[in-house]
Amino acid sequence: MRVLLHHPGTAMRRLTRCLWIAGALAGCAVWLWHRAEPPVYGRALFGRWRVPDIAVAGVLAYAALLANMSRRARLHLLVATGSCALTWLVLEAAVLTLGGAARATILGEAPLPNADIVGETTPDTARFFGLPCAPIPFHYVTNVHGYRNPRGRDTGTLWCVGDSCLVAAMLDWSDTPVCRLEQLVGRPCVNVALIAKSPQEIQTEFQRAAAGEELHGRVILQFLCEDNDLLDSARLAQPPPAPSLWQRCLLNKAVNLLFTLTQRVAVESDRRSGMFGDTPVRFLWQHERGSACEQQWPAIERSLDAFRASIEARGGAVGFVLIPQKLRVLGPFCRFPRNSDLWPIAEHLTPVPQQLAAWSRRSGAAVLDLTNALQARAAAGTLVWFADDSHWNAAGAATAAAAVAAWPWLRRQLARSSR
């Protein structure tokens, strides 16, 4: 008969290993329980844990796994881990090297002459918050200068200069504010608009497009967007720093993908929404009274003075149209949740309308504020912005065009140009 003898130290080692495993797993569980908290903004793993939380829990779980292995299995695991780490580093090096190329240009962000592109897009606010949304077809046609216009519309009596609200990529051309305005005034209108441009940058675009143009008898309207012009001007004054190594690396992309898969909708989505009647409306832009971007107004004002002087020196007439914040127009007619990031509304409105009006009084420049026209339509129950986008819908574009076409200053200028 064969007798197996166990050394007393063997039992002690097994007990120690079990205690170590139990302690590591318990530490992992306690850590995750302690750190489980929804983020204030953005996304997290299953809506609860951020990168440091996952890293600590992963180290504890890995330690527990090693403790439960024989020496040979432990060695194999460490070798495999090292091989995977080396492979990942090679991939990281490739991503970081190839990622040094310039960021791809978004359609509408730069002039694209004589384009005729059909595709699909999604509402920007829904995309930012991760909300489900159906794709919207678009047809993007540009003129010889590269701006969205009917083919061959390279000059006109009325030039509309602005950013994405004039690009109106989610609207058929016939529903855009520029086309509507042309129908109402009966004069050819030219669109000079790109997305994500500051007032100063779009003025430069106009000067390029109108170089050599005879401006006598022409009217130029610059549209100013209250929602984002201060931010765009701040970006122009101080370009954002280059993405950090962490922001560019493959691991960060993998983590963000995992966050998106486990928490598709950003946590602040509900706090940045209100009910307009029975329709939930999302607000992409959130301004805080007194924020640093408000210091950009003097630079914008100087650019308006210079732009006006340059147009008038060439014999043209120039006016300025304010596109108010989506929150300013729709906010008074929305019901907000108690934890809303947008309430009280007054704390999240910019001083741009007051500053623009004061500048108009000092300089004598012609200014039209579209707030009243858009609010009147909203008060009647009509949504004038896309619910899940930061741009006008067809009703908003039509309302804005009608207000501009009825502007007495513009009617006088067009009457003079027809003489």
Closest CA to 255 of 37, 38, 45, 28: 45
Same domain as 130, residue 70 = no
Is 1 inside any structural domain?
Answer: no
* Rounded Cα–Cα distance for residues 376 and 382 (Å): 9
pLDDT at residue 92 tops 90 = no
The C-alpha atoms of residue 118 and residue 23 are separated, in whole angstroms, by 59
Residue 223 phi/psi, 5-degree rounding, is -95, 125
User: What are the pLDDT digits (tens) for 150-198?
Assistant: 999 999 999 999 999 999 999 999 999 999 999 999 999 999 999 999 9
pLDDT of amino acid 68 = 74
Same domain, 145 and 86: no
Q: Does the predicted model carry a pTM greater than 0.75?
A: yes
Residue 400 covered by a domain: yes
- Phi and psi at residue 141, to the nearest 5°: -120, 135
CA-to-CA separations, 405 to 129, 292, 409, in angstroms, rounded: 36, 35, 10
**For residue 32, what pLDDT is reported?**
83
Calculate mean pLDDT across residues 10-23. 71
Please state, in angstroms and as integers, the Cα–Cα distance from residue 115 to each residue in 108, 151, 321, following that order.
11, 9, 28
Q: How far apart are CA 107 and CA 305, in angstroms?
A: 30
Residues 31 and 130 in one domain: no
Task: Kindly state the average pLDDT of the residues 292-300.
Answer: 95
Is 252 domain-assigned? no
CA distance 318 to 159: 9
Q: What is the pLDDT of residue 98?
A: 77
User: Which residues contact residue 327 at a Cβ distance below 8 angstroms, ignoring those fewer than 6 apart?
Assistant: 283, 285, 287, 342, 345, 348, 349
At 243 the three-state DSSP class reads coil
Average pLDDT of 331-349?
A: 95
pLDDT (mean) for 20-35: 80
pLDDT of residue 64: 76
**Is the backbone peptide bond immediately before 344 cis, with ω within 30 degrees of 0?**
yes
Same-domain status, 51 and 145: no
What is the number of domains present in the chain? Answer: 2
Tell whether 245 is covered by a domain.
no
Tens digit of each residue's pLDDT (9 = 90 or more) over 248-276: 888 888 888 888 888 889 989 999 999 99
Instruction: Please indicate, yes or no, if residue 52 is contained in any of the structural domains.
Output: yes
Shared domain for 289 and 186, answered yes or no, is yes
Report if residue 259 sits inside a domain: no
Is the pLDDT assigned to residue 102 strictly greater than 60? no
296 shares its domain with 411? yes
- Is the distance from CB of 160 to CB of 321 less than 8 angstroms? no
Is the domain of 93 the same as that of 139?
Answer: no
- Sequence-separated (6 or more) residues with CB below 8 Å from residue 315: 214, 215, 216, 217, 218
Question: Helix, strand or coil for residue 296?
Answer: helix
Which of 29, 64, 98 is where one domain is finished? 98
For the record, the structure tokens of 38 come out as 């929804």
- Between CA 35 and CA 53 the distance in angstroms is 7
* 229 and 149 fall within a common domain: yes
* 352 found inside a domain: yes
Output the pLDDT for position 30.
Answer: 85
pLDDT in tens, 195-247: 999 999 999 999 999 998 889 999 999 999 999 999 999 999 988 888 888 88
Residue 254 lies in a domain: no
Q: What's the 3-state SS for 153-168?
A: CCCCCEEEEECHHHHC
Check residue 141 and report its DSSP letter: E
Residues 273 and 138 in one domain: yes
**Which pLDDT belongs to residue 61?**
81
Say yes or no: 198 and 58 in one domain: no
Among 325, 324, 232, 229, which Cα is nearest to 283's? Answer: 325
Mean pLDDT over each residue of the chain, to the nearest integer: 90
Residue 27 in this model has a pLDDT that exceeds 90? no
Residues 154 and 293 in one domain: yes
Instruction: Note whether 27 and 165 are same-domain residues.
Output: no
- Domain stops at, among 64, 98, 132: 98
Say what the pLDDT of residue 419 is.
62
The pLDDT, as a whole number, for residue 65 is 77
From CA 337, how far away is CA 343, in angstroms rounded? 9
Domain carrying residue 143: 116-240+264-417
**What mean pLDDT is predicted for residues 345-354?**
96
Q: Could you tell me the CATH number of the domain that includes residue 380?
A: 3.40.50.1110
Q: Which residue in the block uniquely carries the two structure tokens 């971007």?
A: 293
